[in-house]
């Protein structure tokens, strides 16, 4: 699956700048309802109202980052994520969340946004290992994915700390416990890819 960079309602039409050059439209804040697909039915049994939960998490993360634009979230399975992880990153294993940007903001042009794909079995395993509710862990991973789209990363300790703090603040606004409190998500930190 390649990131969709030229399709979807956010990309129709266009506007011209002062010189008459075509530019990509920018979505006004609040007009960027996420597109959520439940590709694996187990999500419906494991999480009450997964589409509503994902929508709330995306909205909260967009508000926290000040970004806005189209975000697609696919609630998939390990097999799908493993295939995509191998195809796009050369890693032949599933991971909890993959993100694909439409057009990096640094490149100029384009519409901010992207796709977030989440693996059911990996998320379920991590939630159980951490003693967390599956819905809380899914909320965390959706926010984590949106922060990646917004340019946050966790490859270096300082970056990781900044990202974790923003995740914790955003989760708190949704009344979800801080996953980074001592002992809660040690296994997730160790399994980052």
Give the domain ranges of the chain: 30-190
Q: CB within 8 A of 25, min separation 6: which ones?
A: 10, 11, 13, 14, 15, 111
**Residue 9, pLDDT score:** 28
- Kindly report, residue by residue over 10-27, the tens digit of the pLDDT: 222 333 334 333 333 444
pLDDT band at 171, cuts 50/70/90? very high
Residue 83, annotated ligand binder?
no
Spelled out in words, what is the top-level CATH class assigned to the domain 30-190? alpha beta
Name the DSSP class of 150. T
Give me the mean pLDDT over the 72-77 stretch: 97
Residue 148, annotated ligand binder?
yes
**Residue 115, pLDDT score:** 96
In this predicted structure, the answer to whether residue 60 has a pLDDT above a threshold of 80 is yes
Q: Is 98 helix (H, G, I), strand (E, B) or coil?
A: strand
Strand segments, DSSP code E, in the chain are: 15-16, 22-23, 35-38, 71-76, 97-101, 114-119
Global pTM exceeds 0.75: yes
- Kindly report, residue by residue over 96-151, the tens digit of the pLDDT: 999 998 865 555 556 688 999 999 999 999 999 999 999 999 999 999 999 999 98
> At 8, phi and psi to the nearest 5?
100, 160
């Amino acid at each position: 699956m390649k990131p969709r960079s030229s399709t979807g309602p956010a990309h129709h039409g266009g506007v011209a700048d002062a010189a008459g050059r075509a530019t990509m439209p920018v979505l006004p804040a609040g007009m960027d309802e996420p597109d959520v697909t439940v590709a694996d039915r187990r999500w419906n049994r494991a999480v009450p109202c997964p589409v509503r939960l994902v929508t709330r998490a995306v909205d909260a993360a967009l508000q926290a980052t000040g970004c806005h634009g189209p975000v697609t979230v696919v609630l998939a399975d390990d097999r799908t994520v493993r295939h995509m992880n191998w195809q796009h990153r050369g890693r032949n294993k599933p991971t909890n969340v993959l993100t694909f940007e439409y057009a990096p903001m640094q490149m100029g042009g384009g519409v901010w946004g992207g796709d977030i794909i989440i693996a059911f079995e990996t998320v379920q395993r991590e939630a159980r290992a951490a003693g967390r509710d599956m819905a809380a862990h899914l909320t965390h991973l959706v926010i984590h994915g949106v922060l990646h789209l917004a340019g946050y990363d966790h490859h270096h300790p300082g970056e990781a700390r900044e990202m974790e703090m923003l995740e914790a603040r955003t989760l708190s606004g949704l009344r979800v416990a801080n996953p980074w409190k001592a002992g809660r998500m040690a296994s997730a930190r160790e399994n980052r890819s």
